[in-house]
Amino acid sequence: MQVKVVGVRLRQTGCFEECICQYLSPDCGDYCVVRSNKGERFGSVVSGLRMTDSERLSPDGWEVIRRATDEDFGAIRENRKMESEAFDVCQRLIKERELPMKLVRVEYAFDRSQSLFYFTAETRVDFRELVRDLAHQFRTRIELKQVGVRDEAKILGGLGYCGRELCCKSFLRGFQPVSKKMARDQNLTLNPSKISGICGRLLCCLVYEQATYEELRSNLPKEGAAVETPAGLGKIRTLNPLKGTVDVQLITGVTMEFTSSEVQLVKAEVSVESGEQPRDGEPEPESNLEESNGADNERENI
């Protein structure tokens, strides 16, 4: 069955949910109250009305129940005060119990039926006693949720090297695998301080242009390949995908730049260190720059 939905970004955590909106027509930027089997939440509309199949929606059953009113904004201000107090209390209890965890954020459900405590930890933490203490203190349903460093950055927010708000906080709906190979394909310096975000992991924006670089690199010879150029034989050392050129180290040891149309692959092994001539009939050397597409390419921290 087709239903009318809008995209709503929930407060603080930045989670994006497609919410059924059968009787309202909110515009992008409008604040609204949404409801699911997890309780009521407050959020802002970030994508306009569209029709979709109900089977594709979250099983939590998110639905927009009304546009935000002055009373709703007042309730949000009150919730924020309570969240600040709950954060301080939880911090104190964590120190008292000497738990190896870092509290990131506390969020109350809009109707205060539940309070979520987000934290990071290097290992699994037994926080059952902490939950009992918090439930006794606040008399509400308590949920502690462990998140990763990327999710921590998404919750807290901040500015990236570009000077804009973090992508994960502003518009990204989820995290995609990022690898060092993407940085190499884009000829970036493999310096952690240059290609890592504030979370300490590889920049999410490396994914944005990867498809373009892969297409451009497919039209160029591989690095390490033996080629013949107008200046003589040599080996390809560097690819320049955006320029459509390659840097070739000639057998004389000199490195020159040529366009892809100026070089031609040869089935020979070229030694540029000793200045030896190519030995015909020997196989072309394989490039060692290709990496596995397995676990090493997933959200790698360098």
Structural domains of the chain sorted by starting position, each given as residue range(s) with its CATH number in brackets: 2-68 (no CATH), 73-147 (3.30.300), 153-208 (no CATH), 219-280 (2.30.30.30)
Q: For residue 12, what pLDDT band results from cuts at 50, 70 and 90?
A: low
Percent of the chain with pLDDT over 70: 86
Rounded-to-integer distance, Cα 3 and Cα 201, Å: 38
Task: Copy the structure tokens of residue 148.
Answer: 């990763």
Q: For residue 13, what pLDDT band results from cuts at 50, 70 and 90?
A: low
pLDDT of amino acid 272 = 60
Rounded-to-integer distance, Cα 49 and Cα 178, Å: 32
Rounded-to-integer distance, Cα 15 and Cα 173, Å: 7
Q: Which of 141, 165, 145 is nearest to 153 (CA)?
A: 165
* pLDDT tens per residue, range 248-262: 999 888 999 999 889
Q: For residue 188, what pLDDT band results from cuts at 50, 70 and 90?
A: confident
Element (DSSP H or E) covering residue 119: strand 114-120
- Residue 103 pLDDT > 90, yes or no? yes
Per the CB < 8 A criterion, the answer to whether 264 and 148 are in contact is no
pLDDT of amino acid 268 = 65
On average, the pLDDT of the chain sits at 81
pLDDT of amino acid 289 = 33
Regarding predicted confidence, which is higher, 131 or 25? 131
Residues 160-197 as b or e (16 or more Cβ within 10 Å = b): beeeeebbbbeebeebeebbbbbbebbeeeeeeeebbb
Phi and psi (nearest 5°) for 269? -100, 125
Average pLDDT over residues 72-97: 92
